[in-house]
Amino acid sequence: MSDSPVLTHVEGRIGHLTFNRPKALNAFDSALIAATNKAMAELVADERVLTIVVSGAGRAFSAGFDLKESAARQTTGAAAWRQVLETDFDFVLQFWDCPKPTIAAVQGYCLAGAFELMLACDMAVAGQSALFGEPEVRFGSGAVALLLPWVTGPKQAKELLLTGADRVTAARALEIGVINRVVPDGQELEAATALARDVAAAAPESVRLTKRAINRAYELAGLRDALKVGLETDIEIESAENPERSEFNRIRREEGLQAALAWRDGRFGG
């Protein structure tokens, strides 16, 4: 298989985009982000394509932004964080803003930035063992694209984001309305593709204008401004020091990511 961080192919009227860093659980590093942006622009421009299915190679959809790369980058100060986080924000939001419907096919972990990206897709299908969540608050970090309160209710959004839960089951994700359906493991791509086929079989201009109208309803309710406030908050969180973040970073630097994750997760009931 190609070692490109993103794979694409077109099947009938459906464009497939697959995150392809399976050894790192498809963590979003800068190469994957750049390749995704390019691939999405090509799929949008491709007249054969009416709908885009987004998936991950290997055992996870994705474990979120790459924590090893961010450790090596050692970003400091609000201006530098703004640059990093605006890039991350645009990367996630392109799936919401895409003129063609986007459908996520999720297996395994779908965490943090990847959870936000899944939320930004118009629809999502998950295998029954998929696990979702946003662990950022557990290590003094924040959410870059605060879509969750728009997709589910405030109680559910707060429980998930304020505890940093990262083992939300597919059944629970369905219950709180952040995914569309749960299927047996291994059938998520097929089920997402079937959904994409139904969208692609409808009148393309009606689909395009209907997605635009739905998104506009959220724009009118203030979604874009609220997301910008969320982004500013994340810039504030990431560029300030706090004890949890310092300790997480120290362990990550001295003992590696696995040790830092074990320290982080050992403090919670699960």
Question: Which residues of the shown chain bind ligand DAK in the complex (CB under 6 A)?
Answer: 24-25, 27, 63-68, 70, 109, 111-113, 135-136, 141, 245, 249, 257-258, 261
Cβ proximity to ligand DAK: between 66 and 122 the closer is 66
Helix H, strand E, coil C: the string for the chain is: CCCCCEEEEEECCEEEEEECCHHHCCCECHHHHHHHHHHHHHHHHCCCCCEEEEEECCCCCECCECHHHHHHHCCCCHHHHHHHHHHHHHHHHHHHHCCCCEEEEECCEEECHHHHHHHHCCEEEEECCCEEECHHHHHCCCCCCCCHHHHCCHHHHHHHHHHCCCCEEHHHHHHCCCCCEEECCCCHHHHHHHHHHHHHHCCHHHHHHHHHHHHHHHHHCCHHHHHHHHHHHHHHHHHCCCHHHHHHHHHHHHHCHHHHHHHHHHCCCC
Query: In the complex, what is the shortest distance from the CB of residue 201 to ligand DAK, in angstroms, rounded to a whole number?
Result: 36
Query: In the complex, what is the shortest distance from the CB of residue 8 to ligand DAK, in angstroms, rounded to a whole number?
Result: 23
Cβ proximity to ligand DAK: between 174 and 257 the closer is 257
Cβ proximity to ligand DAK: between 67 and 147 the closer is 67
Altogether, the residues listed in the chain come to a count of: 270
Query: In the complex, what is the shortest distance from the CB of residue 177 to ligand DAK, in angstroms, rounded to a whole number?
Result: 22
Query: In the complex, what is the shortest distance from the CB of residue 258 to ligand DAK, in angstroms, rounded to a whole number?
Result: 6
Cβ proximity to ligand DAK: between 101 and 108 the closer is 108
Cβ proximity to ligand DAK: between 78 and 257 the closer is 257
Cβ proximity to ligand DAK: between 49 and 165 the closer is 165
Query: In the complex, what is the shortest distance from the CB of residue 63 to ligand DAK, in angstroms, rounded to a whole number?
Result: 3
Query: In the complex, what is the shortest distance from the CB of residue 211 to ligand DAK, in angstroms, rounded to a whole number?
Result: 27
